[in-house]
Each structure stands twice: as C-alpha cells, then as structure tokens.
Chain A
Amino acid sequence: MASETIVDPDFKVPAPERVGEEGKTWSHVIQNLVFTVDHKKLGLMYIGSGLLFFVVAGIMATLIRVQLFFPRSTFLDPDVFNRFFTMHGTAMVFLVGMPMIFGFANYLIPIMIGTRDMAYPRLNAFGFWVFFFSGLLLYFSYFGAPGLYNAGSAPDVGWFAYSPLTAKAFSRGHSTDYWTLSILLGGIGSLATSINILVTTFCLRCKGMTLGRMPLFVWLFVVVAFLVIIALPPLSACQIMLTLDRYLGAKFFDTQAGGDAVLWQHFFWIFGHPEVYILILPGFAIANEIIPVFSRKPIFGYPIMVAATVMIAFISLGVWAHHMFTVGMTSLGNTFFAISTMVIAVPTGIKIFNWLGTMWGGKLHFELPMIFCLAFLFQFLIAGLTGVMLSVVPFDWQLSDSYFVVAHFHYVLIGALLYTLFAGIYYWYPKAFGRMPNRKLGLWHFWLFTIGFHLTFFPQHISGFLGMPRRIFTYEAGRGWEIWNQLSTIGVIIQIPGILFFVFNLIYSYFKGEEAGDDPWDAWTLEWATTSPPPEYNFEKTPEVRSRRPLWDLKHPDDPDWKFE
C-alpha cells in the first residue's frame, strides 16, 4: 500500500506529518488505517475484515459439523448449537458477504471508471467503520450474561429471527437486541456505501466513459447498489418494529393482540430474497471481468448481459414468498411466487450461456482466477438447478427446512459467490500489492477446497431427501443419516487446510511473490493502466476512453476497438 497521508482538499485541519516509510511503527499503521479516506485502503480494509469474520464464522460452522458427526452427540449444548448456527448465518451474510463485495466495489469502481476517488470519501470511511463496529457489537454478545463458556447471550433465533421466537416471552435477556441493533447499524453502513457507489458511477466517469462503455463489473455493481437501496430499508424497518415490540410493548408481531407473525416473514424475505441477489451479482461481476481476459476474447453479448442483470434484479424483488411456501398462503400466492421464481432462472441462464459463449473458441489460459471461475460456472449451475427444483411448490413442501435447502444455498453462496471472491482476490492481488499470488499454493487451495466443499454439501442433498431437518442440534440413529453427516464433516476437515493455504498464500505472496508489473494478465480495463499498487490519486492524468476496452486500444493502435463501435 502506498503510504502518504491523505489530504482531502475539503479537510481544513492541517494534515499530520508525512509518514516516511511504509509502516515504520504500529502507531503509523493504525493512523494510516483509522484516518484514511482513500477508497483503495478502505476496500482492502473491507476485504480484510470480511476475511476475519469469515474465519470466525467458519470455525462456528466447523463446530456445528463436528456436533453432527455422531447421532445423539453431546459435543455442544443445544443452546450453544442454536447460537452457533444463528451467528454463523448472520455473520456470513452481513459481515462476510456484504463487506467483501463492497470491498471489491470500493477498490475497483473508481479505478475502472478512471476517477480519483469515490464521490463521498468520508461517507465511505463512515460506512466502513459503522459496518466494522456492527460486527464487533454482534460478537460482543458472546460476553453476555452466562459468560463465554456457555456462549454468552449470543442471538439464538436463527438469522431469519422469525417471530414469535423473538418476542420478549421467548427470547429473554438481550440476545435478540444485539442482533437487531447490529443489523440496523450494518444496514446504515451498507446504504451509505451503496449510495456512494451509485453517485460515483453516475457522476465521476472519465471523459468518453459512457454508460455503454463501462466495464460490466461496474454495471453489475450499479444494479447491486440499486437493489441495496431498495431492499435494505425493509430490513431496517422490520428491525425497528421488532425493537419497538421488545422495548415499548408494541404489538406488531404479537399474535395475542391481533398482530401477525407471518408479517415478519414477509418483511424479512422482502429484504432477504433480494439480498441473495445482492450477494451473487457481484460474483457474476467478477466472473464478467475474469472470463474474457483468460479466454482472450471480449465478453460475448455485452448489452444482453446488462439487460439480463437488470431483469434479475427486477424479478428478484417479486419472489420473496418462495421462502414461505409452507406457511399457508393461498394457492394463488404460491403459484405466483413459484412461477416468478422459475422465471428468474431465464436471465440467469442467459448469463451462463454468455460466459460459455465468451469461452467458445477462445484461447483459454488456466491461471488461478480462471480455474476458480470455471468451478464457479459448474457449481452455480448445480445451485441453480436445485433452486428451480425447490421453486416447485409440492417439492418444496416435502423438502422445506430440510438439509436439501441448506445444500442448495450453500452451493450458491460458497460454490458461486465465494469462488468468485477467491478468483477476484487472486486476479486483483497483483494490482493491490504489486506481487503475483503463488500459483502452487493457489492450486493446493483450489483442489483441497473444491473437494472438501463438494464432499460437505453434496451429501446434504441426500440427507435432505431422507428427511433430515435443519437447525436441530442432533438426530436419532438408524435413519440412514449418519453416513451422509459423517461425509459432510470429513469434507469440512478437508476444506480447512484449503482455507489455510489461501490465507498463507496471501501473506507469503505479499513478501515473497514475484514482481507483477502493471499489467500481469494482459487485461483491457482501466485499472491495469496505472501502476501496481496504484498511487493515492490513481491516475497521473485522468484517462480518456473511446471504447469498451481502452487498454486494447492502447496496445493495438493499428486495430483499435473504437473503429468497430
């Protein structure tokens, strides 16, 4: 990281003295991190804190799997088990998924559209710190009433927090309040960052960067930011209602007073379903950048890709109740939501075929990012197919709240999102640190993690078919579930060294990786036009763009893209 102190022109306080060398002392490092408003540092901090929470939530998942290795296991108390799956889900969605995607957005969008910084740099910093403290607040609940050993007063109502589980009568103490306030805070941070992304992309594009020439990555993030500002306020609203219920005795979700417990489910999933698209579209965005570069071909069907993304976002706002088929809606409602859920597979399929079309006849280079993207395509296909299966109402009635559903969304969130995040980290690592990630370590990471991941989650389809319910701390012997649970747990044990290889690779390459140069992958978008790592101001002279692949035009003045646009 470059280490000059940042002087925001709007900032009237005299800047502190320049730190001469990178990270001479810890206090310099801390100052650099705490006072920074630079979008690149904030992006790396987002990704770093996301990885931190990822490790913590991953440890929880591991303990859950260990508990389920044997039937009637007493490794964890039931209460502790409830707290673990709640905190695992909440942390993975709100403290890992969201910050990771915002980290990529922060780091890359300003460089990709050729500007100096985000539109509101200090709002950006505010968003990061609010998110970070919301994570600390959530985990602080572990130091609650019964103490750490009994897992404190951590939330134990599931990440969906269905009422009436969250009512004062059933959730004593402050566990649910930690959850509510933490999500409210994190929501504020996410909204701030999303508004920042939208304003940046609409108002700060460099000369010639029309909307039709923006990299697809930026396009998808515009759609994601729109989804966030439309879908996150409902979550904040129902958190406010829940807080009023718990503290002022309001009757929003109190069925004794004419309230409605199902209303919470509607409100929660009005947020919750767009949320999964908020999480997966950035994964698509990363794949959109990586697949063309390593196929040595421009992306196939750029306008179709944008249109499909907008369609996905639009339809995703109207499918929330497919999480509630078993709650007892009318047949008409069930039918509507089943059909809209099936329809959303169409634009998603368009995207998959466009990626295949990009690779078709290209010269594939199997570098680390590309390998992860290929695995992503395959795994996302499986995830999408199980999703379409679950959208069929009678099928969902059989398998709702079973491990089949767990397998489905873990294939989406790990098999698709996490793989593209890994790919993105390997792809832009040289840009951020100026050194190449180590290929051999990366391959170890890939194979261990992939084998472990499939071994963990594929058997869960089968145990779901055999009727194993989610979120139950144990199971009886003799129902044919043992072998599949044991395979799952063994898969987790294989995944862990993969993650360790990944983390070690990041640290090792930072010190020992080979020098990358400005453009190691021979890519085409603007972020590769500046140095690695980029200076504070990104570009010495703001670039001017004449086509979708500005660097191609630079490298091939005899055959530029803009002649054909």
Chain B
Amino acid sequence: MSSAELTNTDSDWKLPSQRKVGMICLIITESALFTIFVVAYVWYMGKSLNGPFPKEVLHVPWLASIALFGSSFTVTIAEKFLHKGNRALFHVWWLLTIALGAYFVYFTGAEWYHLIYKENLTISTNVFGSTFYALVGLHASHVIIGLILLSIVVISSFRGKLDPGHSEHVEMIAWYWHFVDAIWVVVLTLVYFISVNY
C-alpha cells in the first residue's frame, strides 16, 4: 500500500510491516474459527447413537499428510531461490508445492467419495459425520484457498509481473500455507489418531 511510504520517511522511526501484522491478525482469526470446530469434534467424540463409527471407517492418510507437510518445506526452498534470484528453480519448487497441495485436495475428495458411497457416512448420518465433514471440510477449503493464492504467485511470475519488491507478498502467502499445515497437524492427530479409539 502507498500510505506506508508517506509516513515512514525517517529511518530512526521503525514500525512493523503492514503485511506481517495483517497476516498475523488473519491467522489469529482463522485459528479462533478452527478452535470452535475442533471443540465441537472433541465434544461429540463417542456420542454418536448409530454407526458408522470413526474406528470402522477412518484410515490414517499417511501419503496425503506427508505431501502436505512436505509442501511446507518445498515452499520454503522456493522462497530461498526467489531471494537468490534463481527464477527457474523457484518455479520448479513452487509448482511442486502446488502439486503436493493439489494431491492433498484430491486425496480428501477420494476419501470423501469412499466414505459417502462405500461406508454410507454422510453429514446427516450421525454427529460424527456432521463434525467430521465440517472440520475436515473447513480445512480442505483453506487448502483450496491456499492453492489459489500459490497459483496467483506463479502465474504472475510467468507473466513477468513478479519483481523483487514482491518478496514480502510471497512470504505472507508462504506463512498462510504454513498455517494451513499447522492446522492439519491438529486435525490429523485429533481425527485419525485420537477419535478412532471412541
């Protein structure tokens, strides 16, 4: 934004960056939103009156989780190459990030297809179904938003619109991606490791 240049003329008067503060606030907001869905999931663990129950239908998504956690590393590596000015490698690693995220979304879709058509678990089957689809779906929607943001970066880079002045924009999108990843740690632990015991 341009107003920042108007105010910070002096070098001895340092203020935090707008983008960082804004992204931190957004992440706090999203964390509060996820917290309530997590609480709802925990609250209803083992409260379903009819099946299917988590331990019958849930399988730990090892590959998808590795893909999503790996994409956090690839996005960091891509940022490093952007800083060094190596555009080709930046594109490679950035596209790899997008591919890993896209695989995660594909996996969620396949998992849901399996649950709905093979296991007859829908959002209206029982409270497990309601909370599971709400929580995992909220996370998946955030992955999709993250993918859109990542794609905007790489497309603008291909069109030559990404200059060194945008490094902080790219960094913020990477922050968001890390946040989506961190949420998945919570969701994975809660849904696939803890709730299957109920």
Contact = CB atoms under 8 A, between A and B. Distances in A.
Contacts of A258: 44, 47-49, 126-127
B76 interface: no
Interface residues of B, number: 40
Q: Which 8 A-B pairs have the closest CB atoms?
A: A249-B124, A237-B36, A233-B33, A233-B32, A250-B130, A9-B2, A195-B25, A258-B49
A119 B130 contact: no
B34 to A, nearest CB: 8
B3 A248 contact: no
Contact of A204 (B7, B33, B37, B50): B7
Nearest to B28: A229
Nearest to B46: A258
Interface in A109-127: 115-117, 119-121
Contacts of A205: 7, 15
A238 B43 CA distance: 14
Interface string B42-64: 01100111100000000000000
A146 B1 CA distance: 49
A263 interface: yes
Contacts of B15: 202-205
Contact of A203 (B4, B33, B44): B4
Interface of A: 8-10, 115-117, 119-121, 191, 194-195, 198-199, 202-208, 229-234, 236-238, 240-241, 244-245, 248-252, 254, 257-260, 263, 267, 270, 542
A270 B36 contact: yes
Interface string B19-33: 001100110111011
B13 interface: yes
B131 interface: yes
B116 interface: no
A425 B154 CA distance: 49
Nearest to B13: A207
A258 B133 CA distance: 17
Contacts of B123: 244, 248-250
B95 interface: no
Given A203-B21, A258-B47, A117 B37 contact: no
B63 to A, nearest CB: 29
A233 B3 contact: no
Nearest to A204: B7
A241 B49 CA distance: 19
Of the candidates A194, A202, A238, the one having the most CB atoms from chain B within 10 angstroms of its own CB is A202
A9 B2 CA distance: 7
Contacts of A208: 13
Contacts of A204: 3-4, 7, 15, 18
A244 B130 contact: yes
B165 interface: no
A263 B44 CA distance: 10
A245 B129 CA distance: 12
B29 A199 contact: no
Given A120-B1, A233-B32, 7 more contacts: A120-B22, A195-B25, A204-B4, A207-B13, A240-B134, A250-B130, A259-B47
Given A10-B2, A115-B7, A203-B21, A241 B134 contact: yes
B44 to A, nearest CB: 7
Interface of B: 1-4, 6-7, 10, 13, 15-18, 21-22, 25-26, 28-30, 32-33, 35-37, 40, 43-44, 47-50, 123-124, 126-127, 129-131, 133-134
A434 B69 CA distance: 58
B130 A251 contact: yes
A184 to B, nearest CB: 12
Contacts of A260: 43-44, 47
A199 B7 contact: no
Contact of B16 (A203, A233, A237): A203
B7 A116 contact: yes
Contact of A233 (B13, B29, B49, B127): B29
Contacts of B131: 252
8 contacts: A203-B4, A203-B16, A203-B18, A206-B7, A229-B28, A237-B37, A250-B123, A251-B130
A231 B124 contact: no
A515 B1 CA distance: 36
A195 B22 contact: yes
A116 B3 contact: yes
Contacts of B13: 207-208
B21 A257 contact: no
Contacts of B21: 198-199, 202-203
Nearest to A240: B134
Contacts of B133: 250
Contacts of B134: 240-241, 244, 250, 252
Contact of B22 (A115, A199, A240, A250): A199
A151 to B, nearest CB: 32
Contact of B6 (A116, A199, A203): A116
Contact of A263 (B17, B43, B48): B43
Nearest to A110: B3
A259 to B, nearest CB: 5
B36 A267 contact: yes
